[in-house]
Chain A
């Protein structure tokens, strides 16, 4: 791995340390996502839905929770947000402008898919989630239900 920052394009074909070649003949690396992904999926069902875990920031204030997730390369129409009971699932497919005949020489993003699952808590109002995707960053705002917002409880002294 002494040459990872010095990938020259004429090494193609002979490199064995790209993520694509790490586990046999993976063909679904992000720079090579066309091709035989379905073949790979049918060969090895356990690996077919492999996904990257996007890094997130989660910030809570008195009104709700803000979640920021890095989803580079995911266009708006390939992003899915799914809430089912108390589970939030973020799924995104990476879509890169690939030219014909491209061969990956080096890949750090080796799977063209992001997925992350969060368990929500019941004071969050999942019906009022708002989402924004800008420059590959997803911003989710999950407000707390009205009745769950904090209020100060006075202590009566008798």
Chain B
């Protein structure tokens, strides 16, 4: 498992420890594995009209990223090539090696009111932004009294 993507400060580290302790004793993890700490990091936001997913996946070829939506389950998968030189060439020395390299996959399930035909994705500044519109029928509506 890829180690925590970002550590930030003492408070965050304490949070993380607490979370890991909780995860370790969690008797019912998600069926698709543990949630946090994978690559890419995910933020999810919602508006009344849509669900917005931000995947922090720098350094990818946008064409190589696969985004699939199957029965409400969104999968983001791809591969990030390690840019490190081979160990044995002798001319270069790797001092720090923290960046992720290799294949990745993250899965999240969307709510039922998302329209699978109205999902768009773009990639900018290393962030994959997926916007999934909610169905028209699920929008809040004001019903006028006759």
Q: Hey, which bits of chain A sit against chain B, CB under 8 A?
A: 1-10, 12, 19, 22-23, 29-32, 47, 50-62, 65, 68, 70-75, 95-109, 111, 134-137
Would you give the shortest CB distance from A34 to chain B, in whole angstroms? Answer: 12
Give per-residue flags for B33-55: 1 if the beta carbon is below 8 A from chain A beta carbons, else 0.
11111001111111110111010
Given contacts A31-B45, A51-B8, A108-B43, contact A1 B56 (CB under 8 A): no
A70: which of B8, B11, B59, B110 is its contact (CB, 8 Å)? B59
In the bound complex, what is the Cα–Cα distance between A22 and B12 (angstroms)?
10
Chain B contacts to A: CB under 8 angstroms: 5-9, 11-12, 15, 19, 22-23, 26, 28-30, 32-37, 40-48, 50-52, 54, 56-60, 83-85, 91-100, 106-111, 113-114, 123-127, 129, 134
State A102–B7 Cα separation when bound (angstroms): 26
Whole-angstrom CA separation of A10 from B46 in the bound complex: 9
A135 proximity list for chain B (CB < 8 A): 58-60, 123, 125-126
Q: Which residue of B lies closest to A73 (CB)?
A: B127
9 cross-chain CB contacts under 8 A: A7-B108, A31-B45, A53-B7, A96-B127, A96-B129, A98-B52, A106-B43, A106-B44, A136-B58
Q: Are B6 and A5 in contact (CB under 8 A)?
A: no
Given contacts A5-B108, A109-B6, 11 further A-B contacts (CB under 8 A): A1-B34, A1-B35, A1-B36, A4-B34, A5-B106, A30-B54, A60-B93, A61-B91, A70-B99, A97-B129, A105-B45
